[in-house]
Amino acid sequence: MANGRCQGVIVPMVTPFTAAGQIDPEGVHRIVDHLIAGGMDGIFVLGTTGEAASISFMEKAKLVESTVEDTKHRALVYAGISGNCMDESIQAAKRYMDLGADVLVAHAPYYYPLGQDEIVRYFMTLADCVPGPLMIYNIPATTGLSISIDTAAKLSLHERIVGMKDSENTPGRLEAAIGRFSGRSNFAYVVGCAALSARAVSLGAAGIVPSAANLQPQLYKALFETALDGHLSAAEKLQHQTDRISQSYQKNRSLGQSLAALKAAMHLLGFCGATVLAPLETLQEEDIADLKKQMETGIYS
């Protein structure tokens, strides 16, 4: 795989479950076809949006296998291997690469507070041991740790570390990161804060990773291409439209609650059930009805 292919719109896919909490292969098939039809360049399973922390290893492997089979090389498959046990992450990496995943993704362990030197050593060791390309994932909202731009630059020197998904929205960070990594053919800086999508691409980010692309992938594809072509006014209009979609399930909700609402929206669109795994709580019927009313206003069209 060419490192430069880690680019474009990479959707962090919701994980469809049966009512019993197992992977729903038919739901995977419907969602993957929907995302590919919407022009997605990559599908990222087992991330935050995909409830990776709540899924057993056996079910994770089933999800990766189903996604790879349904994608049929039409987009890159990114598979999350994040965890607090190094050996388990390595074993997951080997299994997912055997199943056909293209890129591995891992955030820092989140149980112990870690300094930047410890983060460097962790990812360098992980990269030494996994059998394929690795993208580091910065998400302080869940790990309580921020991977500094200097740390990312050190990690980018490892031949297997091909990029960073950055979900931190600290003032000035986006500009500093793009200034450091834009134009690198062997390290892709992709932005996980959906509200920054148009600005990030216009400044030179290699890609964007918006959860709302599960609902309207074609809008994010249009946003990416419009910003890439330098049509900033048109890109900002698309940004505003996609922000409204994000707000429809995120406003006044915690991260976990917003994931349940996103799953419910996917359910209302006919792609999967509304079930999320504990400790998250599936949206109540009255809340699903309220969400349906929002959707009927045309917010997703």
Candidates 217, 194, 192, 242; CA nearest to 39 is 217
- 69 burial (CB, 10 Å; 0-12 / 13-18 / 19+) is middle
Place of tokens 């680019």: 7
Residue ranges with strand state E in the chain:
8-12, 42-45, 76-80, 103-107, 134-138, 161-166, 188-191, 207-208
In 3-state terms, the chain is what percent helix, strand and coil (to 5)?
50, 15, 35
Q: What is the pLDDT along the chain (301 residues), one digit of tens a residue?
A: 333 379 999 999 999 999 999 999 999 999 999 999 999 999 999 999 999 999 999 999 999 999 999 999 999 999 999 999 999 999 999 999 999 999 999 999 999 999 999 999 999 999 999 999 999 999 999 999 999 999 999 999 999 999 999 999 999 999 999 999 998 989 999 999 999 999 999 999 999 999 999 999 999 999 999 999 999 999 999 999 999 999 999 999 999 999 999 999 999 999 999 999 999 999 999 999 999 998 888 777 6
Q: Which domains does the chain have, with CATH numbers?
A: 3-231 (3.20.20.70)
- 20 burial (CB, 10 Å; 0-12 / 13-18 / 19+) is exposed
Q: Report the alpha-carbon distance of residue 192 to residue 246 in Å, rounded.
A: 13
Q: Report the alpha-carbon distance of residue 102 to residue 78 in Å, rounded.
A: 6
- pTM metric for this prediction: 0.96
What dihedral angle (degrees, nearest 10) is formed by the CA atoms of 212, 215, 51, 124?
Answer: -50
Give me Rg for the CA atoms of the chain.
Answer: 18
